[in-house]
């Protein structure tokens, strides 16, 4: 389940990628805390890992983690690099 749905952004031990935070401690969490983390991931997450959703000038919707931003551009880090 993890490899199919979560590993594109998260890592547990040596499985997955490091786009989002390492969630190796998930094995020690209660069911309720895991459910909240899945359904509302920004509730308790470090600000470095907030997911942003942007609309480009041509109307395309993209999302990812904020890599950098300026008056001219926004760079998002997306799943799978």
Question: What's the whole-model pTM score?
Answer: 0.55
Average pLDDT score over the chain: 84
Q: Which residue has the higher pLDDT, 42 or 37?
A: 37
Give the pLDDT of residue 81.
66
pLDDT digits (tens, 9 = 90+) for 39-77: 887 777 777 778 889 998 999 999 888 889 999 899 998
| Cβ-Cβ contacts under 8 Å for 56 (sequence gap 6 or more) | 62
What's the pLDDT band for 17 if we cut at 50, 70, 90?
confident
| Cβ-Cβ contacts under 8 Å for 20 (sequence gap 6 or more) | 9, 10, 49, 65
Rounded to the nearest 5°, which phi and psi values hold at 56? -75, 170
């Amino acid at each position: 389940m993890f490899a199919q749905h979560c590993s594109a952004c998260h890592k547990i031990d040596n499985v997955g990628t490091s786009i989002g935070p390492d969630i190796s401690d998930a094995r020690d969490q209660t069911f309720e805390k895991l459910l909240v983390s899945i359904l509302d991931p920004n509730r308790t997450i470090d600000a470095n890992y907030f997911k942003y959703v942007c609309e480009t000038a041509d109307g395309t919707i993209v999302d990812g983690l904020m890599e950098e931003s300026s008056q001219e551009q926004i760079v998002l880090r997306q799943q799978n690099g």
